[in-house]
Every structure is written in C-alpha cells, then in structure tokens.
Amino acid sequence: MDDRIGASDDAVLNAPGRDDPDQSQGDLRIAQQFRKRLAESDALSTNAKNAKIIARGNVVTLRGEVQSTAEKAALAGVAQTLEGVTRVDNQLEVIGEAAEGTTP
C-alpha cells in the first residue's frame, strides 16, 4: 500500500489507515482530500507531493521532506482549509534551503 501523494487512485483508496479502527470516515475523507489537492498542484515539488498525512480525531499530522519553507507553509495551509480539520501538526522538514540553519 502506498500513502504517498500522487499515487494512483487505487493506492489512495487503499492507503494505510483504511483498516485502522481508530480512524473515522471523516479522517479518511480528510486524508483523501489532502492528497487530491496536492496532486492537482503544479507548483509543488515531488517531495511535497509525497508528504505523509495522518488524520486522526480531526487533527492532521504532516511528515516528510519539502524543498522550502514556502512549501511547508503551503501544505499546512491546504490541510487547515479542509473541512473537519481542527488542528495541524506540521512536522515537515525543509531540505532544500541552505538558509534553514545548515551549512552547505
């Protein structure tokens, strides 16, 4: 099973959590809407589109790597606008900007 953004529709429908008794239908819908919105964006990097989303109890957790702080903010913004989301835990890691405190 594949929980990456941009995966085939079958993979999205069979993403982890489908059989998780702690994940409600609303949480599944949130995850699916998030994946769909990212897949439709031409402005995001492949890393951003492959970000992992965990929706549980209407709280969205984002994990993975993105190219910039702008992408990190954009993904959190998408998640926050989805119906039913009450909080976003943005754990995305910026890997594409040297200004993020790393030395090249």
Q: Which domain holds residue 74?
A: 9-99
Q: Would the pTM of this model clear 0.85, i.e. be above it? A: no
**Are 39 and 94 contacting, i.e. CB atoms less than 8 angstroms apart?**
no
Listing from the earlier edge strand, what are the strands of the sheet with 52-56? 52-56, 59-66, 87-94
104 pairs with which residues across the strands? Answer: none
What mean pLDDT is reported for the chain?
81
- Residue 58 falls inside a structural domain: yes
- Residue 71 falls inside a structural domain: yes
Nearest residue to 63 via CA among 101, 22, 87, 91 = 91
pLDDT at 98 over 80: no
Work out the average pLDDT over 39-47: 94
pLDDT at 104 over 90: no
pLDDT at 30 over 50: yes
| Number of domains present in the structure of the chain | 1
Confidence class for position 101, pLDDT limits 50, 70, 90: low
CATH of the domain at 84: 3.30.70
Task: Round to whole Å and give the CA distance between 92 and 42.
Answer: 19
pLDDT tens, residue by residue, 61-88: 999 999 999 999 999 999 999 999 999 9
